[in-house]
Amino acid sequence: MTTAGTGHEQQHRHLLEVLVAAAAPRCQNLAELLGYLPGAYPAEAADVLSSLASRHLIDELTSRRLQASGVPPAQLATPPRQANAPGIELPDPHPLDFDWRWTAQTATGLVTRCTGTTGPGDTIALLGTPTLLPLAVDAPHRRHWLLLEASTATTSVLAARWPEHVQRCDLATGQLPHLSARVVVADPPWYPEHTRAFLWAAAHLSIPGATILLAQPALATRPGILDERAGLLAYAHGIGLELAAICPSTLAYTCPPFEQRALAATGLSASVPSDWRRGDLIELRRTTAPPGPRPRQPSHERWDEITAGRARIRFRLDTEEPGQHGADPRLIPLVPGDILGSVSRRNPIRAHVRVWTAGNRVFGCAAPALLKMIAASIAAGTPADRPAQADTGRPLHADELVKIRAAAAQLRDLIQAEHRDSARDRLDIAVLPTKTATVLCG
Ligand SMILES: C[S@@+](CC[C@H](N)C(=O)[O-])C[C@H]1O[C@@H](n2cnc3c(N)ncnc32)[C@H](O)[C@@H]1O
């Protein structure tokens, strides 16, 4: 994030305090309170609540009522499902993709919005919005839908069924197709550099008069959102996209498994509804102005993924000195229980993470490239020390072998834990329902 200086942090905290102090006495539980805090992270809301209570700015009864974590059985319900077509199961989202998927209700509302704004034969571009494709593509309204998405795991599942409607593409740097889209739906990772890249792609792919539907963080998601948004709208204007409407908190997201685990690590999973996260829908209109040059991207972290069954494990490869033969590839614990409490880019632990799973387990490691090779051997069912031996070009020393075998044992345990969690996530877990705010304006 670029804008969260101390001033923004303080303003944000103050805003949350005011909102919580005003709403808490009317609320029966934390879930209800979250409905008054546009997009605020539940752990942050709970912290503000405790702080207000400790200063006697909230009465004790209210504080006890809202901090109680259990949810009465009468209020339990099936969670809002992520939008999925029959027979299509997208891979578990990975935190490094910033992959927050819409609820079925929000996704259906967006598809309806797209078809309502277009006619037969028109093109609709979906940028980083894989949830929409299965709902849109088989419907009998004769639009041409094209999903542009960077995740290989996601695009390979969708392209297996609809190859002509899916293109794997990094929207920040990849080659864009020639399209004349009348509507573009874009949900970039919620950071300015990603949003600028997606906006530029939207301008490049659309025709004058086209509608761009851009998902953005709701206003209390983190410090500085309004300033960030002002910068983005100014950028959009410069590339031929004029603001038409802003619909606050209309987009509802399902809580991905990695976030459920982060909430569980902070003791909040039982009191937070699985569709707590909200986004704002920003509607822009394409003018005749040319988009100009593509925005330059800041240098990015480099992560490689190894999949073993349903387990998705990423290894950070841009931090290691080359030729570190003999370095220790074992996983280094970073946080209690190995689950990251917040995946926010503001979390300082992120700088030390070298291994990160879809289940939100994080570790340090002195030799992540070597560990990745070991993981690849495990996934392929070959001996774990073979790639290290090939890489060094000599027999391994006894102490190197000991470390490699220990690292392989750690990885096998990790893969098992990820499989266990993924299987559990597929069961219907009862959670508290919320008032879903998915009437899309426009
Ligand atoms: C915030 S999620 C949006 C998901 C959407 N809400 C849905 O339900 O379909 C961001 C999506 O953009 C994709 N993505 C991230 N960076 C990208 C890039 N540079 N180019 C293309 N896609 C990208 C991610 O893999 C993810 O699918």
DSSP one-letter string for 27-45: -SSHHHHHTTSTT--HHHH
Q: Which two tokens stand for residue 437?
A: 């705010």
Q: Which residues are paired to 181 by β-bridges?
A: 123, 206
What does the longest C-alpha to C-alpha distance in the chain come to?
70
Dihedral sign of CA atoms 100, 106, 111, 114 in order: negative
Query: Which residues have C-beta atoms less than 6 Å from ligand 1?
Result: 97-102, 128-132, 149-151, 154, 170-172, 187, 189, 194
Neighbours of 284 (CB within 10 A): 26
Q: Are 279 and 253 in contact (CB under 8 A)?
A: yes
Q: Could you tell me if 174 and 149 are in contact, meaning their C-beta atoms sit under 8 angstroms apart?
A: no
* 149, 170, 301: residue to mutate for ligand 1 pocket, most atoms within 8 A of CB: 149
Q: How far apart are CA 90 and CA 92, in angstroms?
A: 7
User: 353 alpha carbon to ligand 1 midpoint, in Å?
Assistant: 22
pLDDT at 182: 98
The answer to whether residues 213 and 113 touch, using CB atoms and an 8 Å cutoff, is yes
Give distance in angstroms: CA of 66 to centre of ligand 1: 34
- pTM of the predicted structure, to 2 decimals: 0.85
For ligand 1, atom 23, which residue shows the shortest CA distance? 150
pLDDT at 386: 78
Distance CA 170, CA 166 (A): 13
Q: Ligand 1 center to residue 429 CA distance, Å?
A: 26
Ligand 1 atom with least separation from CA of 131: 9
User: Which of 209, 143, 224, 216 shows the shortest CA–CA distance to 186?
Assistant: 216
Pull the structure tokens for residue 341. Answer: 């409490």
Q: How many CB atoms lie within 10 A of CB 309?
A: 11
User: Given this model, what pLDDT does residue 343 score?
Assistant: 77
The pLDDT score that the predictor gives to residue 396 is 76
pLDDT tens, N- to C-terminus, the chain (442 residues): 344 457 888 999 999 999 999 999 999 999 999 999 999 999 999 999 999 999 999 999 999 999 865 554 333 334 445 555 556 888 889 999 889 999 999 999 999 999 999 999 999 999 999 999 999 988 778 899 999 999 998 999 999 999 999 999 999 999 999 999 999 999 999 999 999 999 999 999 999 999 999 999 999 999 999 999 999 999 999 999 999 999 999 999 998 888 887 788 778 878 889 899 999 999 999 999 999 999 988 777 899 999 998 899 999 998 876 655 567 899 999 999 898 877 777 789 999 999 999 999 999 999 999 999 999 999 998 887 777 777 777 777 888 889 999 999 999 999 999 988 877 765 433 333 344 444 466 5
Å from CA of 151 to ligand 1 middle: 8
The residue written with tokens 């102090």 in the block is 21
CB 384 within 8 A of CB 374: yes
Instruction: Please enumerate in sequence order all residues whose Cβ is within 8 A of that of 163, keeping only pairs 6 or more positions apart, or say none.
Output: none
How many Å lie between the centroid of ligand 1 and the Cα of residue 317? 22
Say how many Å lie between the CA of residue 342 and the centre of ligand 1. 19
Q: What are the residue ranges of helices labelled H in 117-251? A: 132-136, 152-161, 192-205, 225-238
End-to-end CA distance of the chain: 30
Q: Which ligand 1 atom sits nearest the alpha carbon of residue 148?
A: 21
| CA-to-CA dists, residue 431 to 63, 182, 373, 399, 419, angstroms | 22, 39, 39, 49, 22
CA–centroid distance, residue 90 to ligand 1 (Å): 13
The residue nearest atom 12 of ligand 1, judged by CA position, is 128
pLDDT score of 423: 73
Report the Cα 425 to chain-centroid distance in Å. Answer: 17
The pair of structure tokens assigned to 208 is 């004058």
Token pair recorded at residue 49:
């609540």
Please tell me the residue having the least CA distance from ligand 1 atom 8.
101
- The answer to whether the CB of 117 falls within 8 A of the CB of 183 is yes
Task: Measure 154 CA to ligand 1 centroid, in angstroms.
Answer: 10
Spatial contact of 123 and 182, defined as CB atoms under 8 Å apart: yes
| Beta-strand relationship, 144-149 and 362-364 | unpaired
In the prediction, which pLDDT does 85 show? 57
Amino acid at 71: V
What distances in angstroms separate CA 129 from CA 124, 142, 155, 203, 439, one per listed residue? Answer: 12, 19, 11, 17, 19
What is residue 140's predicted lDDT score, i.e. its pLDDT?
79
Give yes or no for a contact between 410 and 330, defined as CB atoms under 8 angstroms apart.
yes
Atom of ligand 1 nearest to the CA of 172: 19
pLDDT value at residue 388: 74
Mutate to test the pocket of ligand 1, among 100, 103, 152 (most ligand atoms within 8 A of CB): 100
What was the pLDDT predicted at 226? 96
